[in-house]
Structure 1
């Protein structure tokens, strides 16, 4: 792999100005580069820019912070709200002067790689990347796992949303609504939420708050698992489970014995908590 310290005249493009993109930008600057960050939105923050109104951190803020930029003393909540998290990310970018490297409202439509080597093998050190109208030496893709890519299941013909008499939307579409629009959208309707992960739970809670017990929200789950209501249920800090070697016991491993297999099977519901 190329040594960055030997190649500081080369241009580095970073796609996305979320947390990963900002970290990549700061690292490149620390190595003497002048990176270009392409961000399709008008501001930084990635998924934290447009979220469900009730979104908060689901881990204590001490576990969710930049190592060189701690949370300000004014933030006293253990699980800050989305707006507070976004302000923290924006403060980080401002503090390290990262914004001047970002080109907002610049959506990358295509990437192509040109290899200058004669061997025919893909060579990171000799090729060039064409990013829309730019040619750069390296590309760092920081789009996030779910950014603008809704995960929609595949259905047999005539057995998908077209067979349903109601309206079908993805949680990503719901997150883009403002509070008033989201409230009016579900008010007075019988709502079913498919999925029991974080966005599903948040949306189900919002629907239940709007419609109450008169029109309860139905949650459909494919794989039953335990759901704990707090990061410290019954006074037990979940960090001891998930942020320690103990978490390895929850996952099946090649060559495991009978005892480890039984433990992984018994503790498997904790993996999807």
Structure 2
């Protein structure tokens, strides 16, 4: 197979495995990673972050976890080490260019009118088409400011094919737009996104929230992790407040008497597991008897 120039944007879980398979196909992959390390979202995470999926279900099919990792839900450091070992084992690491951010890309050699008429990928359903066109990517490097990630345009990189592996959480905070005079600029405290909080590092982040009244807006994974960390640092002296738009059930994946707990919690039966205001004697007895399903 003729070697093809392929660019992969992002050196996270997907970017690494794409590079590995392209090497096996005889391509010439180049991985541009804006950060200074592998792993995508796993590269910079809070100390308390762990897998939410059992270890056996979160691994590459051709690269099992090392025997030294025995935890059912490995920590983010163990995940990052696993990804690094994968990249080194399959020769992916040499393809990665750290501190390089793709800031723009255009397809040259085929006119816009011709591309608009394509009904299939590349006009013929093939990944590399006829070779009439090529991708030109504007790539910026860190200009030596590795920690601050200050990028300066340096080159235009050409490729036959581009694979975007930037995922849902590609380093751009999702911040709502506020009306004039009602945003963070009029707040006397410190406003920070969870993504920036994670990048601060454990010790610096904990020092920032120590002794402070913290409000967390949101109720998903990062919000819960930060709220738990606030509770650990400040205890009851300065309780953390969570502002939630939509109520959620926190469903644990556990087994009771050989039956998966989700069979109970993902239906109306779950209402019988907890005590409720104004409940009668029968409902109170049922909630008491079914307590093991909640606490196990």
User: In the alignment, what sits opposite 1:166?
Assistant: 189
Could you give the per-residue CA deviations for residues 208-246 of structure 1, whole angstroms, max 9, x where no partner exists?
110000110001110001013x321646546889xxxx9
Determine whether 1:186 maps to 2:209.
yes
User: In the alignment, what sits opposite 1:211?
Assistant: 234
User: In the alignment, what sits opposite 2:10?
Assistant: 16
Query: d(CA) in 1 for partners of 2:99 and 2:177?
Result: 32
Q: How does 1:230-245 map to 2 (within 5 A)?
A: 230-232=252-254, 234=256, 236-237=259-260
Number of residue-to-residue matches in the alignment: 236
1:198 to 221, 238, 241: 221
Query: d(CA) in 2 for partners of 1:198 and 1:171?
Result: 10
2:135 to 102, 126, 129: 129
TM-score scaled by length of structure 2: 0.74
Query: d(CA) in 1 for partners of 2:23 and 2:263?
Result: 36
Query: d(CA) in 2 for partners of 1:119 and 1:194?
Result: 46
Q: How does 1:77-156 map to 2 (within 5 A)?
A: 77-116=71-110, 120-122=114-116, 124=122, 125=129, 126-132=132-138, 133-156=156-179
Could you give the per-residue CA deviations for residues 16-41 of structure 1, whole angstroms, max 9, x where no partner exists?
11111011111211222111111112
> Judging changes above 3 Å, is the alpha-carbon distance between structure 1 residues 207 and 142 closer, same or farther for their aligned structure 2 residues?
same
Query: d(CA) in 2 for partners of 1:180 and 1:145?
Result: 27
Q: How does 1:24-43 map to 2 (within 5 A)?
A: 24-43=18-37
User: In the alignment, what sits opposite 2:243?
Assistant: 220
Query: d(CA) in 2 for partners of 1:240 and 1:95?
Result: 40
> Judging changes above 3 Å, is the alpha-carbon distance between structure 1 residues 205 and 73 closer, same or farther for their aligned structure 2 residues?
same
Instruction: Note the C-alpha offset of 1:181.
Output: 0.7
Q: Structure 2, unaligned stretches of length 5 or more?
A: 123-128, 139-155, 267-296
> Judging changes above 3 Å, is the alpha-carbon distance between structure 1 residues 44 and 156 closer, same or farther for their aligned structure 2 residues?
same
User: In the alignment, what sits opposite 1:60?
Assistant: 54
User: In the alignment, what sits opposite 1:49?
Assistant: 43
Query: Contact 1:58 / 1:231 at 8 angstroms: preserved in 2?
Result: no
Bigger radius of gyration: 2
Instruction: Note the C-alpha offset of 1:117.
Output: 5.7
Query: d(CA) in 1 for partners of 2:134 and 2:173?
Result: 30
Instruction: Note the C-alpha offset of 1:119.
Output: 5.6
> Judging changes above 3 Å, is the alpha-carbon distance between structure 1 residues 233 and 214 closer, same or farther for their aligned structure 2 residues?
farther
Query: d(CA) in 1 for partners of 2:185 and 2:112?
Result: 52
Structure in which a larger fraction of residues adopt strand = 2
Instruction: Note the C-alpha offset of 1:62.
Output: 0.9
Determine whether 1:71 maps to 2:94.
no
Could you give the per-residue CA deviations for residues 134-171 of structure 1, whole angstroms, max 9, x where no partner exists?
11111111112112110001111111112322111100
> Judging changes above 3 Å, is the alpha-carbon distance between structure 1 residues 118 and 14 closer, same or farther for their aligned structure 2 residues?
closer
